[in-house]
Amino acid sequence: MSKNITPSKKIHSIEDARKLAKKRVPRLMFDFVDGASGDERLCEINSTALDQIRLEPKVLRNIEKRNLKKNFLGNDFNYPFGFAPMGMCNLTWPGADKMLAEESIENNIPICVSMASSTSLEKMYKLSQGHSWLQLYIYQDESFVMELLERAQNTGYKVAILTVDVPIQFRRAKDEKNGFTVPFKIGPKQFFDFATHPRWSLTTLLNGIPKPMNFITSKRGNKFVRSESRGATDWETLKRVRDAWKGKLIVKGVMSPEDAVKIKDTGADAIQVSNHGGRQLESATSSINALPLIRKILGKEFPIIFDSGIRSGSDIVRSLAFGADYAMIGRPLMYGMGADGAKGLRRVLNIIKEELSTTLGLVGLNDINDISSEIIAEKFFKDMKY
């Protein structure tokens, strides 16, 4: 690589960022981000299914000026996408949480702070100047979640996300093979991995080994055990969380239309259609396949977020055409930061934003809020009118 070319200049697609990240980040971390459950095919299927949605170009529409702003859950955002919750982001590249927070301000979009975040929810709220939403899992000790909700409320959070698709974890072969654990267990294999990625290792040592800070800052002394079962979570749990949380509540990880209706009836403010980026039920359908069915059963008005498989600005347009109101991006953010830190993240976001705007214009629209199933090329989907 020429000395004057920073890695981000070599990023022309999300796949470019992924390849660069694979070189710079230790295998243990890269595989944790990139990997999925079981045979890992669902991750691929998510993106392929999006890719198979073909849009209809429309011409002579004067699309000189295009609006990408979107109001969602009562907030005016500059774009129809935000950052999906991802645990232990600082493992990908030191300072990742701060980079994401800065981009959430710059772009005026939401950043979902994972319960297993490597920065405390209070600090993330400050770093993102209030653009943070808090994501939660219910572990064995439900009172810990109640403590986090109280902390979030006291900090100023207005939106909480309850992730319900990890009652138990599907096995991830690569993590098993690499010996990925939180906290790290460093044996000869991991030592070799870190030693062959000296930039990551030195920067990580200088910044401090990432830790699950919401647990560490808890007065209750709860320990983060990644494999701990969350299997006892049920409809009663959702009701208790709904009662406890006064702000907006999103339920994430919904793939079944029947579940979606029940969740709406329990009083959630929005549903996030997601198969966890292919990291849970290996044999599930693609997330985009579930979306129109859920939109249809919930009706036109109920707020729906979509994630899993988005790898381009066109994918965001496709998800909006299939019935989503808002989209969340996951791994591409990590690829960008793994490739070139803050610069890599910015490059990935710029690619997505540019493609979003161009796709909108080429389907003959100048406002993101006008996207509907009308822009889909296949007549069958067009006629579904969700």
Ligand X SMILES: Cc1cc2nc3c(=O)[nH]c(=O)nc-3n(C[C@H](O)[C@H](O)[C@H](O)COP(=O)(O)O)c2cc1C
State yes or no: residue 87 binds ligand X (CB under 6 A). yes
Provide, rounded to whole angstroms, the least separation between the CB of residue 207 and ligand X: 18
State yes or no: residue 7 binds ligand X (CB under 6 A). no
> Among 307, 315, 325, 340, which residue sits at the site for ligand X (rule: CB under 6 A)?
307
Q: Which of 12, 131, 197, 276 is catalytic?
A: 276
Cα 140 to its chain centre, rounded Å, is 24
State yes or no: residue 114 binds ligand X (CB under 6 A). yes
Cα radius of gyration (the chain): 20
Secondary structure string (H, E, C) spanning the chain: CCCCCCHHHHCCCHHHHHHHHHHHCCHHHHHHHHCCCCCCHHHHHHHHHHHCCCECCCCCCCCCCCECCEEECCEEECCCEEECCCCCHHHCCCCHHHHHHHHHHHHCCCEEECCCCCCCHHHHHHHCCCCEEEEECCCCCHHHHHHHHHHHHHHCCCEEEEECCCCCCCCCHHHHHHCCCCCCCCCHHHHHHHHCCHHHHHHHHHHCCCCCHHHHCCCCCCCCCCCCCCCCCCHHHHHHHHHHCCCEEEEEEECCHHHHHHHHHCCCCEEEECCHHHCCCCCCCCHHHHHHHHHHHHCCCCCEEECCCCCCHHHHHHHHHCCCCEEEECHHHHHHHHHHHHHHHHHHHHHHHHHHHHHHHHCCCCEHHHCCHHHECCHHHHCCCC
> Among 252, 295, 318, 347, which residue sits at the site for ligand X (rule: CB under 6 A)?
252
State yes or no: residue 309 binds ligand X (CB under 6 A). yes
State yes or no: residue 118 binds ligand X (CB under 6 A). no
> Among 8, 37, 132, 163, which residue sits at the site for ligand X (rule: CB under 6 A)?
163
Q: How many residues bind ligand X (CB under 6 A)?
A: 22
Counting every residue written for the chain, the total comes to: 386
Rounded to whole angstroms, how far apart are CA atoms 226 and 236? Answer: 23
Which residue lies nearer to ligand X by CB, 254 or 362?
Answer: 254
> Among 26, 85, 110, 303, which residue sits at the site for ligand X (rule: CB under 6 A)?
85
Which residue lies nearer to ligand X by CB, 334 or 365?
Answer: 334
HSE, CB side, 13 Å, CA atoms: give it for residue 297: 16
- Residues whose CB is less than 8 angstroms from the CB of residue 282 and which lie 6 or more positions away in sequence, other chains included: 36, 37, 38, 39, 41, 42, 170
> Among 318, 331, 346, 347, which residue sits at the site for ligand X (rule: CB under 6 A)?
331
> Among 42, 49, 68, 84, which residue sits at the site for ligand X (rule: CB under 6 A)?
84
Piece in contact with ligand X (CB under 6 A), picked from 78-86, 103-111, 243-251, 257-265: 78-86
- Is 131 considered catalytic here? no
Binding mask 14-33 for ligand X (x = CB under 6 A): ------------------xx
Which residue lies nearer to ligand X by CB, 63 or 107?
Answer: 107
Piece in contact with ligand X (CB under 6 A), picked from 70-78, 118-126, 186-194, 325-333: 325-333
Binding mask 123-152 for ligand X (x = CB under 6 A): ------------x-----------------
Provide, rounded to whole angstroms, the least separation between the CB of residue 240 and ligand X: 19
Which residue lies nearer to ligand X by CB, 85 or 336?
Answer: 85
Piece in contact with ligand X (CB under 6 A), picked from 62-70, 302-310, 340-348, 374-382: 302-310
> Among 11, 63, 86, 327, which residue sits at the site for ligand X (rule: CB under 6 A)?
86
Provide, rounded to whole angstroms, the least separation between the CB of residue 144 and ligand X: 15
Rounded to whole angstroms, how far apart are CA atoms 125 and 122? Answer: 5
Provide, rounded to whole angstroms, the least separation between the CB of residue 275 and ligand X: 8
State yes or no: residue 291 binds ligand X (CB under 6 A). no
Residues that bind ligand X (CB under 6 A): 32-33, 46, 84-87, 114, 116, 135, 163, 252, 274, 276-277, 307-310, 329-331
Task: Show which residues are catalytic.
Answer: 276
